Amino acid sequence: MKIRGLIVAALVFLALAGILYWSEHRKPDETAKAATAAPPAILKLDEASVIKLEIKKAETPPLLLSRVASGAWQITEPKALGADQSGVSSVVSTLSSLDSQRLVDEKAGDLKPYGLDQPAVEVGITTKDNKSQKVLIGDDTPTGGAAFAKLAADPRVFTIASFSKTSVDKTLNDLRDKRLLTANSDKLSRVDLIRKGQNIEFGRNKDDWQILKPKPLRADSTQVSELVGKLIAARMDLSGTDDKEIGSAFSKGQPVAVAKLTDQSGTQQLEVRKNKDTYFAKSSVVDGAYKVGSDVGEALDKGLDDFRNKKLFDFGFNDPNKIELHDGSKSYLLTRTGQDWWFNGKKMDAGTVQDLISKLRDLTATKFPEAGFSRPAIEVSILSGDGKRNEKVSMAKFGSAYIAKRDNEPGLYQMESTAVEEFQKAAEGIKPATSSK
């Protein structure tokens, strides 16, 4: 019985070894067949070598794009226009590595069944060595998800993915530069906003915006940056209405504002009007009038107070170095050494001091009156930024509110009395630190 079991085991071992040997020697053949069956590439080019594109579609003038000396793309036909650089680059990228899904016909005698006798899209490609290729894209396949395509000089017909067709099937409006302003937002030195007879001028010092006109005032840099962002992001809405109707709608529209952006290359202007519920714009950068998004119109339809800094103090989220407060007969002089606060030679409880700092930091104007400031009842001086920033604010009672004035600034700030009362209570609540044993 033992001998019989050994014989059976040996036979099983030999069978397994034979299968393993066959599978190992079979793999290269199968791999070779798989490689042979892989769909071939239609076109392979170096993207950087492409210098011209010509896109032809039925019933539209040919669209011709050329790469200029700087390397940027420019539309030259049917008229000279700036090109959307990322949009053109996407087309070039797709064409430079155009892969097929499958080979349909090795040598197509009749192109009509594939819609390639009169292609839906015909793209001519010229490279630096003056060699040209032409890609023809025809009908979608009956099952969908793909389209028939071929090179004009190649008899083979392939299918390509629908997204590849979509990527190159572009019109003039798809590939033109739709920006209404091309100024460099990082290099802007001045922004002018002319609205309802009021001229607001903003100037930038490094990253901080200030109001220069109608008079020097602190600006809310976030609000000014949002305005700049909307202007830089303004795009033409090229859908629907024709140029004549757009021009007429702009001419009949109510003026909203005129914005001017100045960078190192000069000044650009955008004029926005509103006709019914639609905004229209004209730019100094490009000819014609265009529909624009309501966000552009709304961003420009703001007054001086919308851009003013409503915070009473600028020390932000950094702890001050010194706080001096005079409130009637009460006076406080707090100084900071490291993380410790001191008052009259005593170390103070950090939590109570931080509560006062928080209340001072939160002081915010509810409006900006032109008058009403009289004899101050409260004076606050804050030294911050390692002694580089010294802010002094005086506050006077005005009915049920307070009006404040920053030292050496022309503007006034009106605050709710509750906000002032809160920091007064916080000042009274400052107490010495509890000594630890």
Walking along the chain (437 residues) 10 residues at a time, the average pLDDT comes out as 52 51 45 55 95 94 95 95 96 96 93 96 96 96 95 96 96 96 95 94 91 95 96 92 88 97 96 96 95 96 96 90 95 94 95 96 96 94 93 95 95 96 96 78
**CA–CA distance, 108 with 155 (Å, rounded to integer):** 6
pTM: 0.81
| CA-closest candidate to residue 291, choices 283, 301, 303 | 283
| CA-closest candidate to residue 172, choices 98, 241, 80 | 80
Q: Residue 150: what residue type?
A: K
The neighbour count for residue 435, using CB atoms within 10 Å, is 6
Residue ranges per domain, the chain? 41-175, 185-307, 322-428
Burial of 331 (0-12, 13-18, 19+ CB in 10 A): exposed
Q: What share of the chain is helix, strand, coil (3-state, %, to 5)?
A: 30, 40, 30
pLDDT of residue 24: 47
In this structure, what token pair is assigned to residue 406? 């920053």
> Which residues is 292 bridged to in the sheet?
279
> Which element (helix H / strand E) includes 64?
strand 63-67
Half-sphere exposure of 206 (CA within 13 A, CB side): 0
Q: How would you classify residue 387: left for phi > 0, otherwise alpha for psi between -120 and 50, otherwise beta?
A: left
For 41-175, CATH gives 2.60.40
| 173-201 exposure pattern, b = at least 16 Cβ within 10 A, e = fewer | eebbbbbbbebeeeebeebbbbbeeeebb
pLDDT of residue 360: 96
3-class secondary structure, 260: strand
| CA-closest candidate to residue 124, choices 54, 64, 57, 60 | 54
pLDDT of residue 321: 95
Q: Residue 347: what residue type?
A: K
pLDDT of residue 59: 86
